[in-house]
Amino acid sequence: MKIIDLSTPLFSGMTVYPGDPEVKIKVVHTYEKETWELRQLTMGTHTGTHVDAFSHMDEGAETIDQIPLDNFFGPTEVVKKNQKWPKEKGLLFIEEIGLAELDKILSVKPTFIGGMITEELERALLKNKIVTYTGLVNLECLPKQETFIFYGLPLKIKSGDGSPVRAIAIIED
């Protein structure tokens, strides 16, 4: 079994979407003073590698803590626009796709979508109750046209519109 980390590191001053909160990570307790270490995190819910709740772009829709956990992991494939897509699996895109692909996406009923998706497509997918992941890295390390298991579990943020995740792919040898 091989595990591929698909998450970007979080650090103070990292690039964020224009208008989102700046990321600040500060040590507030130290081994020397308190005999333990503790950091304070300040950031938005859509920082780095993250998942979007349906409520992110649709007022009144389910929040991150209301979406069943099985929406955040499962069999997945990396796909390209011009190939046949598997049904009822997660789909990850390493090339940008947009609203023009919405009907094709809906026809295969993916469990979630991630990778290079436009904001317009993200909005449409969330409205159609398809979880979206953005900020994924290392997608080029994943096998093409081969199923693997993806995990991108969110923090259980009450009424959350999204959450940073530690996204991984598990590849069977």
Q: Please, what is the average pLDDT of the chain?
A: 96
pLDDT value at 129 more than 90: yes
Nearest to 67 by CA among 50, 55, 49: 55
Share of the chain above pLDDT 70, in %: 100
Q: Which residues pair with 38 in a beta bridge?
A: 29
pLDDT value at 128 more than 90: yes
| Distance between CA atoms of residues 17 and 147, nearest Å | 31
pLDDT value at 92 more than 90: yes
For residue 27, the model assigns a pLDDT of 97
Q: Which residues pair with 133 in a beta bridge?
A: 51, 114
CA atoms within 13 Å, Cβ hemisphere of 127: 10
Mean pLDDT of 68-89: 96
- Tokens for 135, please give them: 């900020």
- Tokens for 77, please give them: 């494939």
Mean pLDDT of 125-141: 97
pLDDT value at 173 more than 90: no
State the DSSP H helix or E strand holding residue 92, giving kind and residue range, or none if neither. strand 90-97
Segment 17-74, tens digit of pLDDT: 999 999 999 999 999 999 999 999 999 999 999 999 999 998 999 999 999 999 999 9
- Alpha helices of the chain — where are they, by DSSP H? 31-34, 102-108, 119-127
Nearest to 94 by CA among 48, 146, 140: 140
- Report the predicted TM-score, pTM, of the whole model to 2 decimal places: 0.94
